[in-house]
Structure 1
Amino acid sequence: MSLAVRPVVGRRAKISALGTYVPPQVLTNKDLEKMVDTNDQWIVERTGIKERHVLAAGKGVSDICVEAAKKCLAARGIEPSEVEVIIVGTVTPDMMFPSTACLVQDKIGAKGAWGFDVSAGCSGFVFALQAGVKLVESGAQSKVLVCGADANTRMTDYTDRATCVLFGDGGGAVLIEPAEEGEIGMIDFVHEIDGSGGVSLNLPAGGSLNPSTHETIDKKMHFIHQDGQAVYKFAVRKMAEATTKLLERNGVTGADLGCFIPHQANKRIITSTADRLGMPADRVIINIEKYGNTSAGTIPLAMETAVEEGKLKKGDLVLIAAVGAGFTVGTALLRWEI
């Protein structure tokens, strides 16, 4: 391997801590069999999902972020008051405004911090991560809390057998700080958006185009609308293209990676990308069977799984990748420095 580390003006940035959270309530495939015309075998064969977590009534995605943030900051041994910026990747905010970042800031007591939300579908965490990295690399900030979380069950139509089996709730948070001497941290990224794909995966109502009315509710316009085949084809193609581009321009192959942490949307998409990269199966992180698709929450949750399984260790070269509504594509290459 000949890793061409991207030069950085100023300083390098790294992930210094990780925390995750999923709600305790679990919805299994057997539970879904009682709700809609489906069965466990069909769901597992087509998606790899066995169960997913559901956020309790009266809670919002900010509560997922708060629990993950508390674990993240405790792991780093710092107080919330030391956090300078909070960036939240989500498409299921508690409300249209204020931002989820504002709610998280207040709930954890990060007095004096500023922040914002990033709406990039399932690529939300990867996009938010890069925003935090650039703030640290520039020297403008030194402690940026990046959250990726979604409460997808809030916008899932449980009469639609094609989509209701896919989604779950959960997420995670990482702290971005300057890398120490001798550490590499974040190396490079490839991001892309393609708005022509918006018709294939969207939530039609609730915004300025289709404000909430009895008609939009009756037409189920506040639920996820997805053209599964179009999304699948785009995800398979673009995840492979973006990851290949990122590795090639950094002089890296799949065999050089400690692990590959992909967005957990569909097991077949993951294995297809891994095969294109020449990744050994034991270095590909898959936990979709436990959580389903938690959108912006999948990558931090998969990072936690990788650590727990001993597949993500300090010094490992790591590739993360996601494709989401928009369409959005996000990939990043980094050294794990925890």
Structure 2
Amino acid sequence: MKDVYITRISKFLPNEPVDNDQMEEKLGIIDGRASKARRIVLRNNQIKTRYYAIDEKGETTHNNAQLAAAAVEGLCDENFTVQDIELLSCGTSSPDQILPSHTSMVHGFLKNRNMEINSASGACCSGMNALKYGYLSVKAGETKNAACAGSERTSSWMKERVFQNEVEHLKNLEESPILAFNKEFLRWMLSDGSGAVLLESEPKGNTPLKIEWMDGYSYAFEMETCMYAGADKEENGTLTPWSEFPAEEWGQRSLFAMKQDTRLLGDNILKKGVHSLKMTYEKHGIGPEDVDYYLPHISSYYFKQGLYDEMKEQGIEMPWDKWFLNLQNVGNIGAASIYVMLEELVASGKLKKGDKILFHVPESARFSYMYAYLTVC
């Protein structure tokens, strides 16, 4: 087995940053009335700016595959071109289509050469699953390098046209706020962008990062669905897929809008996250004292203190001075978030040889968690 290093890192954030006052103009006002849920969600998540693949006229500037391709191209220069990539592995929760696969479309935009590709589906963990596929390929000697990426273009899923048939629900916000809040919640949480890394078996580059290990945990065996799209959630917690509804009901039920069961989210995302973190610590014989930079992907600053408190409660408290976050400035980019966080950490110039970095990436879809432990070389 070979060692695996992150030798190049890139990010791509489309267009200009969008502040809180511009959000509704970009995504569109539903039923001609400003959202009542928007201020509640923004007050809790504390995101100040984010990025959308939408121009000043409201037109789409990039699809998801183009965002991912731009990040992968950002890994390349005259010394390493797209022609040199041996494996392309990408993850997203917002693919542009059901088929072909997301990575097939990214490959199509790169127009480089015949090579192996892998598409990881899911939500935020899909970017980490894409990374692990590349990590295992290089580690096993199957490929000399792998370009791995995470990307999202959720803005197109959050435009007002997607929710037009839900207007009556939104009109009842004061009488039935939980229903409306669950329908609208993610509009004010998610944003667009991409990030990519190049994996190689030698420590090249200015700040190579050795991947010591990667772990994943799923709680789907005991938890019902929390975040979903392309389905309707029944009272018993099961999902009925879009394919089982008549076509005329797809829009009436907003089946292709992303939805979040916020009750399940608040009750479980932190407990399961710390439970799995504790397991990965025990598996590898490490603890918070063995981490110099802790990169948790949190969807909202609402969860920041709660995560700290839960870790303290379970005896694995992570000191605040080890946390590295960028949510306020770039928003929640789902599968791309951890890539963009790492790129900003490396670009900060703070890292020194021997530093240890821990990724902690949760996915609320049905409660999955991914971890990676890196050493600065």
- Larger mean CA deviation between 308-317 and 114-123 belongs to 308-317
1:65 to 59, 63, 68: 68
Residue 177 of structure 1 and its aligned partner are, at CA, apart by 1.1
- For 2:65 and 2:115, the matched residues in 1 are separated by 16
**TM-score w.r.t. structure 1 length?**
0.87
Q: Residue 7 of structure 2 corresponds to which residue in structure 1? A: 16
Q: Which runs of 5 or more structure 2 residues have no equivalent in the other structure?
A: 55-59, 164-182, 233-240
Which AA in structure 2 matches 1:328? S
Residue 161 of structure 1 and its aligned partner are, at CA, apart by 4.1
Give matches, 1:105-116, under 5 Å. 105-116=107-118
Cα distance per residue 1:289-316 (max 9 Å; x no partner): 1222111011011112222333444432
- For 2:105 and 2:376, the matched residues in 1 are separated by 29
Cα distance per residue 1:168-221 (max 9 Å; x no partner): 01120011111459x982222321223354532100349763478231112111
Q: Which runs of 5 or more structure 1 residues have no equivalent in the other structure?
A: 1-9
Residue 99 of structure 1 and its aligned partner are, at CA, apart by 1.8
Give matches, 1:212-223, under 5 Å. 213-223=247-257
Provide the identity percentage.
Answer: 20
- For 2:50 and 2:301, the matched residues in 1 are separated by 15
Relative distance call for 1:71 and 1:184 in structure 2 (3 A) is: closer
Residue 111 of structure 1 and its aligned partner are, at CA, apart by 0.4
Q: Residue 189 of structure 2 corresponds to which residue in structure 1? A: 166
Relative distance call for 1:336 and 1:126 in structure 2 (3 A) is: farther
What secondary structure, in the 3-state scheme, does the structure 2 residue paired with 1:185 have?
A: strand
What secondary structure, in the 3-state scheme, does the structure 2 residue paired with 1:128 have?
A: helix
**Conservation of the 8 A alpha-carbon contact between 1:307 and 1:313:** no
**Conservation of the 8 A alpha-carbon contact between 2:185 and 2:259:** no
Q: Residue 49 of structure 1 corresponds to which residue in structure 2? A: 47
Residue 146 of structure 1 and its aligned partner are, at CA, apart by 0.5
- Larger mean CA deviation between 168-177 and 278-287 belongs to 278-287
Q: Residue 281 of structure 1 corresponds to which residue in structure 2? A: 320
**Conservation of the 8 A alpha-carbon contact between 2:281 and 2:287:** yes
Relative distance call for 1:104 and 1:253 in structure 2 (3 A) is: same
Relative distance call for 1:310 and 1:247 in structure 2 (3 A) is: farther
Relative distance call for 1:151 and 1:255 in structure 2 (3 A) is: same
**Conservation of the 8 A alpha-carbon contact between 1:19 and 1:72:** yes
Is 1:155 aligned with 2:157?
yes
1:94 to 93, 96, 100: 96
Relative distance call for 1:184 and 1:247 in structure 2 (3 A) is: farther
**Conservation of the 8 A alpha-carbon contact between 1:235 and 1:269:** no
- For 2:22 and 2:272, the matched residues in 1 are separated by 33
What secondary structure, in the 3-state scheme, does the structure 2 residue paired with 1:164 have?
A: helix
Aligned-pair RMSD on alpha carbons?
2.7
Q: Residue 177 of structure 1 corresponds to which residue in structure 2? A: 200
**How many residues were matched structurally?**
326
Q: Residue 321 of structure 1 corresponds to which residue in structure 2? A: 360
Residue 47 of structure 1 and its aligned partner are, at CA, apart by 1.1
Which AA in structure 1 matches 2:269? A
Residue 33 of structure 1 and its aligned partner are, at CA, apart by 6.3
Is 1:30 aligned with 2:21?
yes
